[in-house]
Structure 1
């Protein structure tokens, strides 16, 4: 029978190279190996029959399941209660380290907490998005799934003298199934390892528990660096861990989300592949993590960016930097579709992303804003890095005043988007500040002149007198929630009359019971059919704008409401649907970094109000 979980029914584990999604019924429904943007091995989220999965749960009878994280870690515990006992599946991936060639271990520990419990398991890999066959070999100690360029080895976890796994059999499709009977206090399990150095082996419980303890120490040691001590510590810690899980250790690149093809509307076509490093998303994430005191990630991303600087192509139609790359920095993101059912029938299922060649001028502002914040916190900007940044600014000085595709990656053609101009203004402003802070040479006079030209242009063309608001694009009355960043970046004062009327207009047209739409696709055709849910990044951005406007009661209520839309583990997808369901790729870095920003701004304002 096909397995069709919902997006929200999952927790995230990972080893800083790749991640896995584990559902509340004990199934690994998404896992790409050996890294985020590799082909999938398990992908039941997108096709319950052909996607593949690794499932563990009670053998039969009714049961209840609950899921939680071991506090302050990325270790996931799924608890099953039956009429005979209570058992747990403890899932984690030990951090793989900085070497790109590291192997990867997905650990699935089984525990019986009370009474007795019979677990059934099925390991059903589907390599290369289900397009590559594999050979399966079962031994007394586990199994091997060999697809040629990728080999996964299943090691059994048990003590000498333990009974062998019962009823192990290999299905015609190469899947392995079996059962494990546990009594109170017993621990068994499996370790699924990529490119293992040898054949399957029996792993002693003590070895797995050492890996568990080391993984706990890693995550709690990392989280201890946080400087945040505010009101929403648990939510921010979970968001920070999520952002760290989305970071590729060998290069420092951060993916926008670990999944592909999850829809922005059920049955719709807005199903994108987000397993890549966007300049914008990663810059925002670094900015947010710096706010919490995490500097290592900023330094890692700076190194990743430095390599992209060296590869820049000033003659490219999309600008000297592409808007997104693979985690290793390569730029081949050619988009194809899979012949899969899609999440709840949402097709096409896209792999790759053709938006990578778009011109999006805002990325230079987000990049410079993060570099400036990092430099203010003492992170170095070397000579070559500075030369690359000045080259970007000099290019932008020649090219900012042109139509582009915009932040939302619309496919309706290039336009004069206000947000792109706004962030070009930010790029020049932060470039000037960086030059002064670091005492570095640059065409500061020209940068200042271009910054001031943009400022005047936005006030003249980005403002719509009839709408009494700053608008999405020149010559239009359409509103766009991306402009909620206008006061945050310092372009307009938080309580400027024109900004307050803009905020009021957004409240009327884009806000639904505190949730915020990006824009109205019907009013601003974006080249794609259908509608979408509310965009969670924008809702948290709305909180921050309300804080700046002094509307603290409203800001706190919107923020607290938004926390109720997270799943049972505090994770967020890209969007919230009409009935409150999670939509889009999951979990999304954009949403979690915006949660951090909103909470920190709200904390500071509430502290100031309370004296």
Structure 2
């Protein structure tokens, strides 16, 4: 598939590299089209992904109409290889970001772009055109033969090359060079101090950095305990989740990008470079399933900090999302000077949903904390006292209308999923208290939990639709309720659940892909429509698996894998003709893939063990 505008490649035509504090996207033309520095949520340096003309890029391309391009990751790493197959030869770009001590926050980040030819002869063209601060800040250029320094009063990046650099216009650089089979070259970009030396980049240095980076990723992935049917797919998703983690705090970002549209030309464009309580909670559980206990512990500490800092004497609701350092200033504004991906304005920075009330996050957070305790994580006295305050607050406020899991902007409603996860929060708090023998007002918590259960059964069930529905004001089916059997609210064999699942199949499932809800039937305050929601498709697989429909679950899962891009990466949504839509790659999708794969694999193994 090609984009309607030749200046933009399809969202799926990108790969991800990173150093666990920030990340870059590399497209199949060999261009770095997105890079923010020094953190995921910092202003961009390269952003042609959302404005092809004014966003800036760092490209190494092979000119010619007969060039075929392929991409792959070096096995078990986050090192991306872009291969150019030409009539005269085969050339490769090997892109990676070296990693030193990722847990120490730094402004110093490097992108290394090694270039080599493995057959014949290939000519490469390189351009480096940074556009600082979302393209709002002009920069100066100091250029020598093999070294360029791009500067603003606030930021500096340096470029070092094995080949001679030339000025491109007033403030950018280029290079053209030809390599024959067996020859190597490359460029390295460094942001922040210390910069790169003014001499030529040495090929040996590039090789050494590449070897060190490959070792880091392979050593890390060695800790994965999953050996099931979809081993390579799950391991790639685990690597993707790791790439989307800000190591100094342990916080996962929802995606490394902003404003990639859920509908081309529409307004459903959001900034996902932050950490949602919900995503962090699900990430913790997914990584525990794979045996990554160190990462799960770091997520748990970050989650603890957010929960506990809110649990003062005058405790209020948790924030929905935070910056990677734990701060919560996420004022939303639009970059009016940028056109957006394929003209899909606005391009947003910040996220206005940060101040919404979304009661479901308490359930996700408490469920994650509960799972961590089952894996031996201690609960401190101070932590428990503060957690009790959070639970007591929820006892008083669970019945309030809110914006719900999908962050709708059409007004607060009595969302069933919010009440479902409030039930989960209270249920898990009670379990933690009993499991660890910790003091709590169990009578109050149990009464609130049971009140929620009864209300969902009485008011969340729509007799005419014969299903549990999105909110109490209408018979709209919502894929979020696929979690009902997954969290233990309903038994998978319950007739109420089977009828709800049947309604979802009728209203939301399209050839195995799942819409989260119908925005035309349930106005959400935004214009336009959206694609199927990849997270919900994997939840559907999990629900089918729990319900015992293993053959359909496996087929649905296998079909969904065909919508991944050539590197095994998923964005947020799938469009009507199979195109990826929304921010890319999305952590939520990959963690749901992991859980679906692990749970389905276990169910299939159990069926085989029983000989059925």
TM over 0.5: yes
**Following the alignment from structure 2 to structure 1, what is the Cα–Cα distance between the partners of residues 199 and 358?**
51
Q: Alignment partner of 1:267: what SS?
A: coil
Give RMSD over aligned pairs: 1.5
- The residue that corresponds to 2:77 in the other structure is 73
- The residue that corresponds to 1:586 in the other structure is 584
Aligned-residue offset at 1:206: 1.9
After superposition, what is the alpha-carbon deviation per residue over 1:119-174, rounded to whole angstroms, capped at 9, x for unaligned? 10000111010000110111123101112211111112x4xxxxx426x12313x1
- The residue that corresponds to 1:336 in the other structure is 333
**Following the alignment from structure 1 to structure 2, what is the Cα–Cα distance between the partners of residues 325 and 293?**
26
**Following the alignment from structure 1 to structure 2, what is the Cα–Cα distance between the partners of residues 231 and 266?**
36
Aligned-residue offset at 1:282: 1.2
- The residue that corresponds to 1:300 in the other structure is 298
**Following the alignment from structure 1 to structure 2, what is the Cα–Cα distance between the partners of residues 227 and 357?**
38
Aligned-residue offset at 1:415: 0.6
CA contact (8 A) 1:2 1:48 kept: no
Q: Alignment partner of 1:567: what SS?
A: coil
After superposition, what is the alpha-carbon deviation per residue over 1:309-336, rounded to whole angstroms, capped at 9, x for unaligned? 343177999x431000000111111111
TM-score normalised over the length of structure 1: 0.96
Aligned-residue offset at 1:434: 1.1
- The residue that corresponds to 1:408 in the other structure is 406
Q: 2:156 aligns with which of 151, 158, 173?
A: 151
- The residue that corresponds to 1:443 in the other structure is 441
**Following the alignment from structure 2 to structure 1, what is the Cα–Cα distance between the partners of residues 472 and 201?**
64
* Deviant stretches of 4+, over 6 Å: 313-317
CA contact (8 A) 1:405 1:415 kept: yes
**Following the alignment from structure 1 to structure 2, what is the Cα–Cα distance between the partners of residues 177 and 24?**
19
Q: Alignment partner of 2:227: what SS?
A: coil
1:193 maps to 2:190: yes
Aligned-residue offset at 1:420: 0.3
User: Aligned pair in 2 of structure 1 residues 34, 316: CA closer, same or farther (>3 Å)?
Assistant: farther
Aligned-residue offset at 1:65: 0.6
1:388 maps to 2:392: no
**Following the alignment from structure 1 to structure 2, what is the Cα–Cα distance between the partners of residues 475 and 356?**
25
- The residue that corresponds to 2:540 in the other structure is 542
- The residue that corresponds to 2:530 in the other structure is 532
1:17 maps to 2:9: no
Q: Alignment partner of 1:219: what SS?
A: helix
- The residue that corresponds to 2:109 in the other structure is 104
CA contact (8 A) 1:153 1:200 kept: no
Q: What are the residue-to-residue correspondences of 1:34-183 with 2, within 5 Å?
A: 34-96=38-100, 97-156=102-161, 158=162, 164-165=163-164, 168-172=166-170, 174-183=171-180
- The residue that corresponds to 1:287 in the other structure is 285
Q: Alignment partner of 2:17: what SS?
A: strand
Q: 2:251 aligns with which of 250, 253, 257?
A: 253
- The residue that corresponds to 1:161 in the other structure is none
- The residue that corresponds to 2:594 in the other structure is 596
Q: Alignment partner of 1:410: what SS?
A: coil
- The residue that corresponds to 1:460 in the other structure is 458
CA contact (8 A) 2:427 2:446 kept: yes
Aligned-residue offset at 1:551: 1.0
After superposition, what is the alpha-carbon deviation per residue over 1:523-566, rounded to whole angstroms, capped at 9, x for unaligned? 11111111100000001111111111111111111111000000
371-380 vs 585-594, greater mean Cα deviation: 371-380
CA contact (8 A) 2:311 2:389 kept: no
**Following the alignment from structure 2 to structure 1, what is the Cα–Cα distance between the partners of residues 354 and 314?**
12
**Following the alignment from structure 2 to structure 1, what is the Cα–Cα distance between the partners of residues 378 and 309?**
21
**Following the alignment from structure 2 to structure 1, what is the Cα–Cα distance between the partners of residues 406 and 603?**
30
1:361 maps to 2:359: yes
User: Aligned pair in 2 of structure 1 residues 502, 3: CA closer, same or farther (>3 Å)?
Assistant: same
- The residue that corresponds to 1:563 in the other structure is 561
1:33 maps to 2:37: yes
**Following the alignment from structure 1 to structure 2, what is the Cα–Cα distance between the partners of residues 201 and 330?**
40
TM-score normalised over the length of structure 2: 0.96
Aligned-residue offset at 1:301: 1.6
Q: What are the residue-to-residue correspondences of 1:198-209 with 2, within 5 Å?
A: 198=195, 199-209=197-207
